[in-house]
Amino acid sequence: MVTKATTGSESATRQAAADFSSTVKESAQQIWLAGLGAFAKAQEEGSKVFDTLVKEGVSIQRKTQSSAGEKLSEATSKMTSMASDLSSRASGQWDKLETIFEGRVSKALGTLGVPAASDITALNARIDELQRKLSRLEPKTTAARRAPETAAGKTAAKRKPARKTS
């Protein structure tokens, strides 16, 4: 009996091992088929998903570029404003410095007795006025000078000696 039980037990073990092996093979086959199905599905859907991802990427890139362009434009505007403000301030400072320098130079030249530009301008105006007055008087003076010469010439002509008849 012991031999039969051992034989029956061995047979049951062999049968269990065969069943287990068959189950494992079946599971492996199903896993393999599921993997192949997933691969086929991924290939089929993959291009669609890829295209969708590319479209989303392009959309995001455009938004990002637009936002960056706006920020760059804003920064450029601010920098331009700051530069012109700084330029006007510097110009104002240079004008003040130039005025101070001109004042000091004018004062130093005045101390040395050098006439100012306004003095020279006034003097030129006086010279021009005097030249105009002279030009108005000049024809009268020339006529007055010629009149005595002409009068003297006429009197001399009247005084011609008479001819002597002897």
SS3 111: helix
Q: Taking the model in full, what pTM does it have?
A: 0.33
Q: Which residues of the chain have pLDDT under 70?
A: 1-8, 139-166
pLDDT value for 1: 45
Ramachandran sector of residue 165 (left: φ over 0; alpha: ψ -120 to 50; beta: rest): beta
CA distances from 12 to 3, 8, 39 (A): 14, 6, 40
